[in-house]
Amino acid sequence: MLPSFPADPVELGNRVLAALSRLALRQFASRPDPSATPEAIPTPLTAFFGRERDIESLTELLRQKARFVTVRTPGGYGKTRLVLETVRRLGDSSRTIAFVDLAEAQTVIELATCVATTMGLNLDRLSQEAPVQLVARVLQGMSGVLILDNFEQLPTEARQTVEDWANRASGVQFLITSRVALARTAERVLDLGTFPVPEPGDATDPKKVAANPALQLFADRVRAFRADFTLTAEAARSAIAICRRVECQPLLIEIMASQLRSRSLSTVVEDLEDKAWLESIESAQSSFGIDR
């Protein structure tokens, strides 16, 4: 018996497009381009400080083959840098490590498209619905770590999509950075805090100054444009005041350090009592780079 076709040309066209989409998905997703390789993970241009315990905790989760790990913290605490530093130290060249920046993704389709693009896949000939399924198929043949950075703004259904991918891709560990947990069944959450807060009296103890990551971060970022900057007792006293005022949040420390391009250290310390100025500093967080 010959198959029946709808009389409505619009419905017929929709069925044809759907069939072509399924054909394309089978052709390109089941046999992805062998030359396609994930983009290299970002290499930060600045030094990394502190977080040794957090790196140990995250490293242990990855070595235990935890399937679903979320590094959770407010913006500006350095979760992206922590993840990048951890996978760099792991140095496992036998496994694929893919880094996906989701800062601009707002929908499930955009999530899947970002992952597919990072994996080196060409979506030009696939339908709008194809990327989610394509990623699922490709991940099934992958062994490694998929880093999904800045997940928090995606809708709830995106969380289910990632869990579905994880269920189908037994060889992939999903490492996520987010301001909120994804609330998935197998999720392991690593909460990231601020740097240890230095005490005012630490300024006269060179060992304590050298051991505090907040002070070392501040000094390093200032040296980017003042190569001779050192944490003398006087400078350390000012740096401690600054770090304490911004509660040792890494990104805010970097922003405060950048103020020394055009201002003196003493002036910055004096302005710490200016609430309006501090609010303008805090609002500048979103314009800074990779240390989110």
CATH number at residue 90: 3.40.50.300
pLDDT band per the 50, 70, 90 thresholds, residue 284:
low
**In whole angstroms, what is the distance from residue 43 CA to residue 97 CA?**
13
Q: Do residue 88 and residue 170 come from a single domain?
A: yes
pLDDT band per the 50, 70, 90 thresholds, residue 247:
very high
Of 157, 191, 225, the position where a domain reaches its end is 191
Average pLDDT over residues 2-21: 48
**In whole angstroms, what is the distance from residue 285 CA to residue 292 CA?**
9
Average pLDDT over residues 165-181: 93
Average pLDDT over residues 256-276: 88
Degrees to nearest 5, angle at CA 252 with 250 and 257:
95
Of 191, 224, 258, the position where a domain reaches its end is 191
Q: Do residue 97 and residue 139 come from a single domain?
A: yes
- Is residue 4, in this structure, part of any structural domain at all? no
| Full domain range(s) for residue 118 | 32-191
Q: Do residue 179 and residue 212 come from a single domain?
A: no
C-alpha separations of 54 from 49, 50, 51, 81, 85 in Å: 12, 9, 5, 12, 11
Question: What mean pLDDT is reported for the chain?
Answer: 83
Q: Do residue 36 and residue 87 come from a single domain?
A: yes
Q: Do residue 182 and residue 267 come from a single domain?
A: no
Work out the percent of the chain whose per-residue pLDDT is above 90: 60
First vs last C-alpha separation in the chain: 62
- Is residue 26, in this structure, part of any structural domain at all? no
Indicate the pTM of the whole model: 0.80
What pLDDT score does 130 carry?
74
**In whole angstroms, what is the distance from residue 93 CA to residue 96 CA?**
7
Please check the confidence at residue 183 and state whether its pLDDT lies above 80. Answer: yes
Average pLDDT over residues 167-180: 94
Least confident window among 111-115, 124-128, 184-188: 124-128
Q: Do residue 101 and residue 160 come from a single domain?
A: yes
- For the chain, the C-alpha Rg in angstroms (whole number) is 24
What pLDDT score does 17 carry?
40
Higher pLDDT among residues 221 and 42, named by residue: 221
Q: Do residue 134 and residue 239 come from a single domain?
A: no
- Is residue 278, in this structure, part of any structural domain at all? no
Q: Do residue 37 and residue 181 come from a single domain?
A: yes
What pLDDT score does 21 carry?
40
Residue holding tokens 């998935």? 184
Q: Do residue 62 and residue 149 come from a single domain?
A: yes
Domain count across the chain: 2
Work out the percent of the chain whose per-residue pLDDT is above 70: 78
Of 150, 167, 191, the position where a domain reaches its end is 191
- Is residue 19, in this structure, part of any structural domain at all? no
Q: Do residue 110 and residue 47 come from a single domain?
A: yes
Higher pLDDT among residues 70 and 42, named by residue: 70
Which token pair is 185? 């069944």
